[in-house]
Amino acid sequence: MSVEILLVPVALAAAHAVVAVAGAVTAAVGDDGTERKAIAVQTRLKHPGLLVDALVSVGARATSHTDGSVSGTWEGIAFRFVHNEDGTLSAHLDADVDVARAQELILVTDSAYAKAVQDAVAQRVRDRAGELGMTVESETVDEDESVTLVLNVDQVRS
Amino acid sequence: MSRRIAITINRDGGIKAETLGIKGKNCLDYVPLLEELLDAETVQSAFTADYQAGEVHLPPSTTTVNEQPS
């Protein structure tokens, strides 16, 4: 052992909590783009493509748009995710939505998104290790669902 | 002893990487390589016993969670 580092994938923001309700705003909600009273929910999610996959995996209907936003519905709740200046996505939901249900949507989506990120990072390691002179020696999945890959780096110039 | 890196990708998306059998400051060369490989940013780092075994002094520009101000 010589150095231990903690990293956060660029698809996730390190500084944000998993979910935080930011309060009332006027914003487009759902697919029609019409602005109305809404609540904004801050997330740590950043990648629209992974977000659509995550939303679909939890039973939502979701569509990404050319401006990077993602709209759709989940169990009757219309939503639209839009980018903030820091690259994270906030969810806009109808103001009359039950806040607990809104948080449930964000939490299940966050969990599915995190799983998608985990899968994507592991696949990236498998795909790119060889290009960087590394060899995947082993791969294990632990009880907590974490994935550990051990790379041999003898061929990497340092 | 072979040089290895153990990468653990947690269910919440967080990643821990640990160099194994790499002594001294050479271990730092792997930080940017890992960031590229993982498409990720380093948020925290700490030197462990093997680093101390290979080097007497820490680089002055490097911050570690174990380092205490004198």
d(CA B61, CA B64): 10
Q: Is A136 on the interface with B (CB under 8 A)?
A: no
Average pLDDT over residues B18-44: 89
The reply to whether A135 falls in a domain is no
Q: In this complex, do B11 and A152 lie within 8 Å of one another by their Cβ atoms?
A: no
Q: Are A79 and A72 in contact (CB under 8 A)?
A: yes
The reply to whether B68 falls in a domain is no
The reply to whether A147 falls in a domain is no
Beta bridge partners of B8: A148, B16
| pLDDT confidence of residue B24 | 75
First to last CA, chain B: 35
d(CA A24, CA A26): 7
The reply to whether B10 falls in a domain is yes
Average pLDDT, chain A: 88
The reply to whether A30 falls in a domain is yes
Average pLDDT over residues A94-106: 84
Q: What is the DSSP letter of A53?
A: H
Report the CATH number at residue A72. Answer: 3.30.310
| pTM of the predicted model as reported, rounded to 2 decimal places | 0.81
Number of domains, chain B? 1
The yes-or-no verdict on residue B51 having pLDDT over 80 is no
Q: Is B70 on the interface with A (CB under 8 A)?
A: no
Number of domains, chain A? 1
The yes-or-no verdict on residue A31 having pLDDT over 90 is no
Specify the 3-state DSSP secondary structure of A126.
helix
